[in-house]
Structure 1
Amino acid sequence: MNEGIGAEERLFRESDKPSEDLSCNWHYKKSADYSDFASTDVSGKWCIFVSPTDVDEAWSKISNAIENNQLMCAKVSTALRSMGRDGHVICVYTRDWDDRQDLMRAREVLQSLGFAKELGYKRDIDTRNRIYGSGEWYLRA
């Protein structure tokens, strides 16, 4: 154990790496072009589930795509949020779940980044209404 770090510092450790951050539940990233984005009843997100060993690399890819204005915004669960769970989730947002062209454009960007497995797209209104399990996914692609 590191003698230079106190127990409280370890307990609430802040880190740029989602796999190590115990100071908050989520890390957020927004493109400069979408700095005004906020979750609404018509927004939604592609959900990417990743292991603790892969989350930092996955988040780095998503973060870079946001910086390059390929994606609008995203959030990733941290070590604190993921305690007791199988892994992490990265949510990549779109402005309007009824805009199928934009949903598929974002999905193509994710595929180009290596997220080739089928992903689920969930509407924010369904998250707010706590719809999980059967009927959870608006779209799978």
Structure 2
Amino acid sequence: MSKLTINTFEEFAEYEGKELGISDYHTITQEQINKFADATLDYQWIHLDQERAKNESPFGNTIAHGYLTVSLLPYLWAQIVTIENLKMQVNYGIEELRFNQPVIVNGAVRLKAKVLSLKDLRGITKAQIEVTMEIKDNKKPAFTGIVTFLYHFNK
């Protein structure tokens, strides 16, 4: 499926209830995990201490922070769809977020997205998107949830 471009509420509404697509895979490196730890001050050893993780962790290596995987949403979402003709876009919320499987260092993830609902709130488009962060060669996803974006289209 190729990347979509959406310019209006009406164009977006054509995809309600439909899968929009799947992003490319992104590999999460130890460097990215370390930088995320610095940005969030979350220095738990299961993310940073590779030697200890190999010996003590049930995963056999370091794992990405769950919130690091969530933070990849905008980057991967932009690979699936481009929303144009906007004054502004606002991240409004995440519901029913469930971390299902950790992402081991050097694991590759991609995003699958489906439009659950669209509402026109007096000119502001409220889009609820079902998201699944898939892990390459793993049956269980890293997470599932529903993200809500507010799009302020130009008239």
TM over 0.5: no
> What is the TM-score with the length of structure 2 in the denominator?
0.23
Question: Over alpha carbons, which structure has the higher Rg?
Answer: 2
| Higher-helix-fraction structure | 1
